[in-house]
Structure 1
Amino acid sequence: MTTLEQLSQTTGNLQQTVTNEFAALDLAALNYKPTPESWSILECLEHLNRYSRYYNPALSNAIAANSDGNYVPSITYSWLGKKSLDMVRPQNGKKHKTVKHMNPANSALGPATIEEFLKHQQDLQQLLQVAKSANLNKKAIPVEFFKLLKMRIGETLEFVVIHQERHVQQALRVKQELSAKAAA
């Protein structure tokens, strides 16, 4: 299985998880916060929506500009790509402070946040398909918070998916805490 196929499969799993685990919850459950500093389920998804609003169009433009038939199926990683991926891997339990405009804490959020997340996942699935004709090793995506730095198309696709996996898992932990609290 190629990296793009793996990313597509993970994206599909994330769509299913969000639909199955969160779509039927009421607004109080979706906005439940285990602690005042932690994020609710909707805040986790809104954080991802904010990243998708930037990265999906950036990826779309980069893929379109670099789809000249020189498809390279394997991804090579820059130091920036490796560092970014290591930081957002779900296995990395270390908390990271997010940049202010990407922090959804204390936002007024509702079910539209879930709908937007699922729409971004559909867009990402299309990008992963179109990327099969792109040079994945082309440095073409400006980093959201420091646009002078650029990541490669392939590593950015992987960053987006892994970052989403991290925060969907975070949202699932919030749901578990809410269930445990309700059962107590």
Structure 2
Amino acid sequence: MTAMNALEQLSQTVRNLSDIVAHSFSSLSLVDLNYKPAPDKWSMLECLEHLNRYSRYYNPVLTKAVAQSSSDEIYVTGINYSWIGKKSLEMVRPQNMKKHKTVKHMNPNNSQLTRATVEEFLLHQQELLQLLYDARKVNLNRKAVPVEFFKLLKMRLGESLEFMVVHQERHIQQALRVKQELMKQAAA
């Protein structure tokens, strides 16, 4: 797959995720959005807050990486994956139902959250769409993005963008499952 196709596919996924969040959660009350299926599980808002925490780190880092990549660099035909990129993507793919322990500062469990969490998520999505657009002009295989939990490790720009989108897919699906549990409970 060409880099341009990959970026367009990622952009479409981001637009879809934004629509899902805007439409699936807007009609719910704050009490419903904070519903937790179990004390150790996340609410819908906690799923979004987790993604917001990642976006607060990665969006500025990705913006800087895109800005520092000149358009003079050799344009590549696709995204190549490093071992850390492959491992990171494998871990967060929605199909991978294995639970992973979240680093403490990225874990929103028992946070006091409001509708502002949803609004912030949607703003981060707009930033990510702009990043995906801007990334069309740069080398996606340049190692330029420090991994959040261990900044000495760097991922390539393209795999970092893909990581952000796939990670969001995983947790939006998780939030939708929480909503489904809430609806089942309300119907019972």
The two structures share one fold, judged by TM-score above 0.5: yes
Aligned: 1:6 with 2:9: yes
Q: Which of 51, 54, 58 is equivalent to 1:55?
A: 58
Unpaired runs of at least 5, structure 2: none
Amino acid at match of 2:39: P
1:160 maps onto 2:161 in alignment: no
**Aligned-partner residue type, residue 167 of structure 1:** H
Pairing 1:95-134 to 2, within 5 Å after superposition: 95-134=99-138
Aligned length: 184
Show CA shifts across 1:98-136 (max 9, x none).
000000000000000000000000000000000000110
TM-score by length of 1: 0.98
Identity of aligned residues (%): 69
Could you tell me which amino acid in structure 2 is paired with residue 3 of structure 1? A
Aligned with 1:87 (options 85, 88, 91): 91
Unaligned runs of 5+ in 1: none
Structure 1 residue matching 2:97: 3-state secondary structure: coil
Q: Quick one: distance in 2 between partners of 1:21 and 1:88?
A: 22
1:140-177 Cα distance to aligned partner (Å, 9 max, x none) = 00000000000000000000000000000000000000
Residue 17 (structure 1) aligns with: 20
Match of 1:144 among 144, 148, 154: 148
**Aligned residues of 1:86 and 1:92 also touching (Cα < 8 A):** yes
- How far apart in 1 are the matches of 2:133 and 2:28? 32
Distance 1:106 1:86 in 2: 27
Return the offset for 1:73.
Answer: 3.8
**Root-mean-square deviation (Å):** 0.8
Mapped partners of 2:181, 2:19: distance in 1: 21
Alignment match of 2:49 (pick from 46, 50, 54)? 46
Give 1:72 shift. 2.0
